[in-house]
Structure 1
Amino acid sequence: MIRPARQGDDARPPGPTERAASAVGMGAPAAAVDLTALVADREKWVAGHEKDYASWAVLGAAYLEQARRTAEPAWYPKAEKALKRSLEIRPAEKGNFDAMTGMGTLANARGDFGTGKKWGELVRAQAPNRWTAYPVLVDAYTGLGDYKAAERSMERLLDLRPGLAAFIRASQVYRDRGWREDATMAMEHAGGAAKAPAEKAYVLFRLGELSWERGDAAEALRQYEGALRADPAQSQALGGRARALAGLGRGGEAVRDYRMALGRAQVPRLALELGELLDALGRHEEAKAPYEMLRTAAARGAADGVNEAVVLGLFEADHGDPAAAVRRLTQEWSRHKSMEVADALAWALHRTGDDTAALEYAKKSTDRGMRSAEFAFHRAMIERGLGDEAGARRHLQEALRTNPRFSPARVPQAKQALAAIGQPAAGGPENMQPAKPWVAPELPKAAKPKPSPKPGPAGS
């Protein structure tokens, strides 16, 4: 039996605007062409319907997704203006949850995790079962270094809405715990939940990142290329492919891909990677251009409220003023106590010669369990500076075992340092070797037991 058609029935597939609106509403990546259509549609609509708070919130979310895709910080002020306009029409106390969630996502994207936490907790307080609050909270707690709270929020998100956003956050939490297999499995579940090509491309990119971090450059390259086939405009995957190619010794192709990725989106971290690759290839004059791009992009982002303290700190520590890096990262640590900030601050302190203070922060970045070759390398060099050869040897071996291609600049340094330290002497420490042959001690002989007296006759 076939039901008669009713008013409102529409068998046509969703158009670009509907696809993008659905994606940003679910916190999922959207295709570039769909996003452009959504932005144009909502801008036109709110121009004639200024009191439509829901459309203002959608427009703000679309601007945020544009910022993520393009790494262009100028989208952030536009997103903030649209979301605040939505909150002016319908304030937070009246339950404008979409705009509140958007404000939390915006704060996290800018690196202001304290503000992101406040918005996420405000939504959770008013509507504990509203799942969209929990991706904001997972990201905010992770940025603040409160990993237990991030894990609790992730578990709640999985209970409320198991799907693309939840599985991506689960993978992130498991990675931070050092649970590689669980992180990969959660991301594969995200791939199963992905529908649109842009969503599948993002999942493949993240799978490539996980493969790269565990040292499988060939598998990472395969995942990055899959992401680019699904979404050729995915600049993050292009940067990842460049990283994998550099690890595989294909430096010329890596430089090409890095330049293509930076031509699409000027991401400061990619600029730093390209500069260090060129330095490792002996092309020092060419390396100056990406380093200058890094400074320019970070300054432009700072003008729009974007926090790039970690990347700038690492850059200054290795290629600029380490003391300035320590000042910058100390201020960042006062706000965000994440493993990434601890590692960067440890390295900056090491570069200034303060290895004693550096070791305390290096322990904060490595003792929680996340397997990072970069973190292990930094701690090893700090321990070597303190004369702890055993600790340095252990962490250098860990870095090279975790990812033997983690950096074209630092892998040779790690191998040279390990060769200089050498292996421990055979036979173990001296105090574990007995000076004389072991002789059984003379133990005192046990005394013979006295015989117990015999009982007398009855009645005596």
Structure 2
Amino acid sequence: MPPSERISRTPSRRALAALLVLVIPACNKAAQDTPTASIPSAAAAPSASVAPPAQDEATRTTRALALQKPSGSSTVDKEIEILVRRIEKTPEPIDPWILLGRAWVRKARYEADPGYYLNAGAVADLVLGREPKNRPARNLRAAVLLESHAFVEAKDLAEQILADDPDDLLALGTKADAELELGAFDAALSTAQRLMDLKPSLPAYGRAGLLRWLQGDPAAAKKNYRAAMDASDPRDPEPFAWVLVEAAKVFWHEGDVDGADKGFDRALSAVAEYPPALVGKARVALAKGDAKRAAELAARAFAKGPLCETAWLLGDARKAAGDEKGAAEAYKRVAEIGRATDKRTLAAFLAAKDKDPDEALALIREEIKARKGIHTTDVLAWALYRKGDFAAARKESDAARAHGTREPVLLFHAGAIRIAQGEKKEGEKLVREALAMNPHFEPNAAAEAKKLLGEGG
């Protein structure tokens, strides 16, 4: 049975949560970018012991980053503080370092702040400098590479780990995620199926939910997300909150705004002030016409996790609320963050606003050198459309929709491109389909879609 069919099943037995919280990219997740160059690589890691003696300046800097005192008073902050004190007292044992690296990953996810992956990467480098073949540290390094958008390197390292142990669950998850971002959809399905076969756990179900959504099967996506929720570990609520947000996005894309809102609320009940859920609720509030509330929610999310996509939403909400100055400030942050760490989102923003098409195209062409997934390809299609290269745009748009993904923005782009090519009937059908799915899918796009149909001013 082919992986695309097998992974759609939802095995009945519940599974234990993975040892390390799942690291799945949010396609719009979806996305949290950290500059690859700023993260120390394992290859550059010093050969010195983890212990303090004989450290050069680079080692001291890496150690200081690994043992940085966390800000905040959450459970994970307290865990990091305990582990740091333990390591400072007795630095020789490896296990506390691995636990510390994983705690930094959890903090990055809880706060939607990819900067904390720098801390996790520093921990991995220190351990690998002492034990180059240490598998937990290699898996930690692979997770950091994935989050830094070094997808080729993450995949290569995961494959090296799997060469030593073909059943390594963390490496399988990293490999599947990297393959998806690199545009190797069938390979990602196969790897995710292997993970599901070995251990149908929250990470496996979560990936299955995403893949089934991308294949245009929302019912199967919801079933897999439900199974992921059932497999969650109550001692670590963030993965559960993440799954709730991903499931709520399916409802959002389908136009069930109230259903999505309930999912985001449940996520916030699991993890207070969880940035991805705040972002979701801000979109809901904007869709319901409460721009002031949307701006307040987006501002809270941005304060915790200053991501490019969140700044974009904050600007749109402030603009809708009549705060032009505040909107301009937020849009300025979109440009600053995007140029530094998130070229895809900035390219999408510029293309959506129909601003600086040359920069939008240059940014996404740079991004696609390292990332060729569905949403990257769609942004390239829209940037080409803005430049008036409709034939090239059509080719990329068709590639983005090749697996049956039914997100409104993809349908709108495909329809607009067809209209520009003179295929008015087919194009308008796709645009109407996008609006029928969710008339609020993105403020600029929805307004532009209505204008194309002659329904907007």
TM-score, structure 2 normalization = 0.80
Aligned with 1:101 (options 126, 139, 144): 139
CA distance in 2, matches of 1:181, 1:226: 20
Task: Specify the alignment match of 1:338 in structure 2.
Answer: 373
Unpaired segments ≥5 residues, structure 2:
1-15, 24-71
Contact 2:112 2:276 in 1 (8 A): no
1:51 alignment partner, one of 71, 87, 92 = 92
Which has the larger displacement, 70-79 or 99-108?
70-79
Contact in 1 for aligned 2:128/2:137 (Cα 8 Å): yes
Q: What corresponds to 2:246 in structure 1?
A: 206
The corresponding residue for 2:19 is 25
Indicate if the aligned counterparts of 1:116 and 1:137 stay in contact, CA closer than 8 A.
Answer: yes
Give the Cα separation in 2 of the matches to 1:108 and 1:193.
Answer: 24
Indicate the larger mover: 31-40 or 233-242: 31-40
Number of residue pairs matched by the alignment? 390
Residue 327 (1) aligns with residue 362 (2): yes
Q: Is 2:151 aligned against 1:113?
A: yes
Alignment of 1:403-422 (within 5 A): 403-419=438-454
Q: Give the aligned partner of residue 238 of structure 1.
A: 278
**Partner residue of 1:316 out of 337, 342, 350:** 350
Kept in 2, the 8 Å contact 1:137–1:150? The answer is yes
Moved more, 60-69 or 171-180: 60-69
Query: 2:433 matched to which residue of 1?
Result: 398
Pair 1:71-2:123 in alignment: no
- Secondary structure of the 2:306 match is coil
1:380 and 2:415 aligned: yes
| Aligned counterpart in structure 2 of residue 36 of structure 1, from 65, 77, 86 | 77
Equivalent in the alignment of 1:84:
125
- Larger Cα-atom Rg: 1
Amino acid at match of 1:393: E
> Residue by residue, what CA displacement relative to the aligned partner does 1:49-79 show, whole Å, maximum 9, x if unpaired?
3333332222222222222222334323222
Q: 1:249 aligns with which of 269, 289, 292?
A: 289
TM-score (norm 1): 0.80
CA contact under 8 A between 1:25 and 1:58: conserved in structure 2? no
Q: 1:211 to 1:420 in 2, by over 3 A?
A: closer
CA distance in 1, matches of 2:428, 2:305: 39
Taking structure 1 as reference, are residues 145 and 137 closer, same or farther at Cα in structure 2, changes over 3 Å only? same
Amino acid at match of 1:111: H
% of aligned pairs identical? 26
Instruction: Measure the CA separation in 2 of the matches of 1:328 and 1:245.
Output: 31
Out of 163, 187, 190, the residue aligned to residue 225 of structure 2 is: 187
In the alignment, the residues of structure 2 paired with residue 104 and residue 356 of structure 1 have an alpha-carbon distance, to the nearest angstrom, of 38
Q: Partners in 2 of 1:64 and 1:298 — Cα distance?
A: 22
Amino acid at match of 1:339: I
- 2:334 is aligned, of 294, 297, 321, to 294
Q: Is the 8 A contact 2:17 2:233 kept in 1?
A: no
Shift of residue 383, structure 1, vs aligned partner: 1.9
Whether the aligned pair in 1 keeps the contact of 2:121 and 2:141 (CA below 8 Å) is yes
Find the aligned partners of 2:255 and 2:282 in 1 and give their Cα distance: 15
Q: Mark the CA change 1:283 to 1:366 in structure 2 (over 3 Å): closer, same or farther.
A: farther
Question: Residue deviations 1:246-268, cap 9 Å, x none?
Answer: 12222222122111211222121
1:152 corresponding residue in structure 2: 190
- For the residue of structure 1 that corresponds to 2:403, the secondary structure is coil
* Aligned residue identity for 1:210: V
Give the stretch that moved more between structures: 218-227 or 328-337.
Answer: 328-337
Aligned residue for 2:169, secondary structure, equals: coil
In terms of mean alpha carbon deviation, does 383-392 or 146-155 score higher? 383-392
With over 3 angstroms needed to count, the CA separation of the structure-2 counterparts of 1:136 and 1:321, relative to structure 1, is same
